[in-house]
A = this chain, B = another copy of it.
Amino acid sequence: MNERQKTSCMVCKELNRPCVEKLTMDQVETLNVNRAEVNFKKGEVLCKQGAFASHIMFIREGLVKVYLENENKNLILKVKSPGYYIGLNSLFRGNVFTYSASAFIDTKVCMIDSETFKNMILENATFGAEIIRILNKSIVQTYDRLYNLTQKHLHGRLADIILCLSEHIHHDHNFQMQITRKELGELASMATESVIRILKEFKEEGIVTLNGRRLEIHKPERLRQISELG
């Protein structure tokens, strides 16, 4: 496995320009050496909440569900797509994963040794600043999600999720969802049955058409309105 030829970090540069730009050539080389490319199949677990975070992961391809585990219920924190990191939150905080993550669809990641990663921050303040920027972006997204999940009603929450899938994940008004109704419900923090009922309403109002998992948004502005109103 390890013998296989790896792509170079420079190949990933487009995905991760802001970070890679901050690094010296030497650091890029160090990064290149201290990483492993790993493929995960749909459903496989990338990291477990509470486990030692000996590495940071960088998503190259696929879609990753990041969630909190608890005896009773799980909560999806976010869905990460290529170009995002997993495990940054563990840096300088005991190196324990603060969440679990699993692959929504087949996914490729680079695993980077977390000590190496930390050293790069400590050696290169500009890189550290970039990491701060990334963390801050993530915090703002989390605040947004906190607002959406606590202050909006089901219709608004589902409208949010649909818009998010369309804009940030599939980049199209017409897309084949990779996920089940149940998973949609977990994303919007609502019962599967409620997802179905509200999708039906959206369909009846002509906001979307729906055929199995293929969804087309006809009135994005109406969805946005529903999302705003709660």
A residues in contact (CB < 8 Å) with B = 68, 70, 72-73, 75, 77, 88-93, 98-99, 118, 121-126, 128-133, 135-140, 142-143, 145-147, 149-151, 189, 230
Contact = CB atoms under 8 A, between A and B. Distances in A.
A133 B142 CA distance: 17
B131 A68 contact: no
A147 B230 contact: no
- Pick from A68, A70, A124, A136 the residue with the most CB of B within 10 Å: A136
A99 B143 contact: yes
A68 B150 CA distance: 12
Nearest to A128: B128
A142 B139 CA distance: 8
A146 B142 contact: yes
* Residue from A126, A138, A142 whose CB has the most chain B CB atoms within 10 Å: A142
Contacts of A98: 136, 139-140, 143
A150 B150 contact: yes
Interface of A is mostly: helix
A152 to B, nearest CB: 9
A129 B139 contact: no
Nearest to A120: B125
Given A77-B146, A123-B125, A151-B73, A133 B92 contact: yes
A87 B73 CA distance: 32
Contact of A139 (B75, B133, B139): B139
Nearest to A72: B230
A208 to B, nearest CB: 25
Contacts of A91: 129, 132-133, 136
Nearest to A146: B146
Given A89-B136, A122-B125, A143 B77 contact: yes
B128 A75 contact: no
Contacts of A146: 68, 75, 77, 142, 145-146, 149
A136 B135 contact: yes
A77 B31 CA distance: 36
B75 A150 contact: yes
